[in-house]
Amino acid sequence: MSERPATMVPPEFDLNAMRRGRLASLRATMVADGLDLVVLSNPLSIRYATDYRGYAAFQAHIPTTYALIAVDGPVVVHGAYADDLGLIDIALPANSATAFDAGMDLSNAADRQVADVLRFRDELGLSIAASIGIERATPSLHRAYTDEGITLIDAEPTIELARSRKSELEMVALRYSIDVAEYGMRQMEAALEPGITENQLWAILHATNIAHNGDWIDGRMLASGPRSNPWYQEASGRVIESGDVVPFDSDMIGPFGYCADISRTFLCGDQAPTGEQLDLYKRSLDEIWHNTELLRVGASFEELSHSVMRQPEEINVNRYACAFHGVGLSDEYPKIPYTDDWDRLGYDGEIEDGLVLSVESYVGPLGGSVGIKLEQMVQVTSAGIVALSTYPFWDL
């Protein structure tokens, strides 16, 4: 029997206190936003509020489970089935308004799901005028709510804002997910030899994540050699050759459900990088450091967007989707675009104390055959910037 690979020891911390703290943060944000009750169907929102993780990837495309969270009262989840129910006080059957569960006519299932919500509202003693926030209601659900005289409020901004505000216990969990990702990255780099395929190399990070009780990886963002430019070419069966650059983006939903979103670029083989590879890598790393130094508590999103490093035009036209974005249980609010994209994609806001961000860079000239992807996770605090990802860069 082959020897099982070693795994890291998870940190000792009060998981139940972290769960209670997240629920309290959500409820405080609900109060600030004037919501009495929210109906959550995004599996990451359900996990944040209750720490229920059952069938989350399935739930992302067939939203069977829904959680009912009031400012005060029991936590109710329809469709929870596992033994470990986290903070769930009451687990009830679901009335899923999907074609998979309800067939082609979704109206009856939608009516039943809304009845579940209104029954809970009435049990809490809330009036018909109570403010109810909904995540991603389908047309059938929207019709069922409006038939009952309910004015829908979008709950997504409320829960995204709550998720962006990390407690110290959340940071313990998040740092462990980063540690696991970087443990997997070390194994990837050790296995990177000519002849391995992109898929085989990428599978090492997946295996490491699952072995440490992680969940999934959001994408397949690993490419090699000429497939490194342009970006967003996902892992394939291509055989990696000596001298190839191998950029990747972890996008790993890891232990405790927290995301490790880190990018590095490896070099396959024993030879030194070419002049072009070195130049592009240095440009990418300079962008990471320049943009990181801009971050401070109180900085506006617009200010940051208009201060980021600008690459030469042939590189700028091939730029990444954003300069910064939040990270927690996944990529999350805020997303801060590059200057050129501000008028189309920008929205303003302010960096809060403790915000966790990924600082992004992709450098690959338009029409070129080499691209470098780097991404660094940091926390912005009143005492300064804390680097969360520590995997080494090239020694330039």
Say if residues 195 and 360 touch (Cβ distance below 8 Å).
no
pLDDT at site 2: 54
Say if residues 143 and 177 touch (Cβ distance below 8 Å).
no
pLDDT in tens, the chain (396 residues): 456 668 899 999 999 999 999 999 999 999 999 999 999 999 999 999 999 999 999 999 999 999 999 999 999 999 998 767 779 999 999 999 999 999 999 999 999 999 999 999 999 999 999 999 999 889 999 999 999 999 889 999 999 999 999 999 999 999 999 999 999 999 999 999 999 999 999 999 999 999 999 999 999 999 999 999 999 999 999 999 999 999 999 999 999 999 999 999 999 999 999 999 999 999 999 999 999 999 999 999 999 999 999 999 999 999 999 999 999 999 999 999 999 999 999 999 999 999 999 999 999 999 999 999 999 999 999 999 999 999 999 998
pLDDT at site 230: 97
pLDDT at site 6: 81
Q: What's the pTM value of the predicted model, to 2 decimals?
A: 0.96
pLDDT at site 15: 96
Q: Which two tokens stand for residue 251?
A: 């996008």
